[in-house]
Structure 1
Amino acid sequence: MTINIYDIANDLEKGIRETEQFTNLKQAYADVNADPEAKVKFDRFREVQVTIQEKQMSGQEIDEETIDLAQEVAEEVQNNKAIVQLMEREQAMSLIINDLNRIIMTPLQELYDVKEN
Structure 2
Amino acid sequence: MSENIYDLAHGLERGIRETEEFKALQAAYADVNSDQEAKEKFDRFREIQVTIQEKQMTGQEIDDETVDKAQKIAEEVQQNAVILALMEKEQAMSTIINDLNRIIMMPLQDLYEVK
Normalized against structure 1, the TM-score is what?
Answer: 0.96
Determine the structure 2 residue equivalent to 1:98: 98
Pair 1:57-2:51 in alignment: no
Determine the structure 2 residue equivalent to 1:27: 27
1:5-52, Cα deviation, whole Å (9 max, x unpaired): 011111100000000000000000000000000000000000000000
Alignment of 1:59-98 (within 5 A): 59-98=59-98
Name the SS for the 2:47 alignment partner: helix
Aligned residue identity for 2:9:
A
Aligned positions, number: 115
Question: Displacement of 1:106 after TM fit?
Answer: 0.1
Aligned residue identity for 1:38:
A
Partners of 2:50 and 2:9 lie apart in 1 by: 28
Determine the structure 2 residue equivalent to 1:9: 9
Partners of 1:98 and 1:84 lie apart in 2 by: 21
Identity %: 73
Aligned residue identity for 2:90:
E
Partners of 2:43 and 2:88 lie apart in 1 by: 17
Question: Displacement of 1:114 after TM fit?
Answer: 3.8
Name the SS for the 1:89 alignment partner: helix
Q: Mind listing any 5+ residue stretches in structure 1 that lack a counterpart?
A: none
Aligned residue identity for 1:91:
Q
Question: Displacement of 1:2 after TM fit?
Answer: 3.4
1:29-78, Cα deviation, whole Å (9 max, x unpaired): 00000000000000000000000000000001110000000000000000
RMSD of Structure 2 on Structure 1 (CA): 0.7
Partners of 1:85 and 1:16 lie apart in 2 by: 20
Partners of 1:91 and 1:57 lie apart in 2 by: 23
Partners of 2:114 and 2:6 lie apart in 1 by: 27
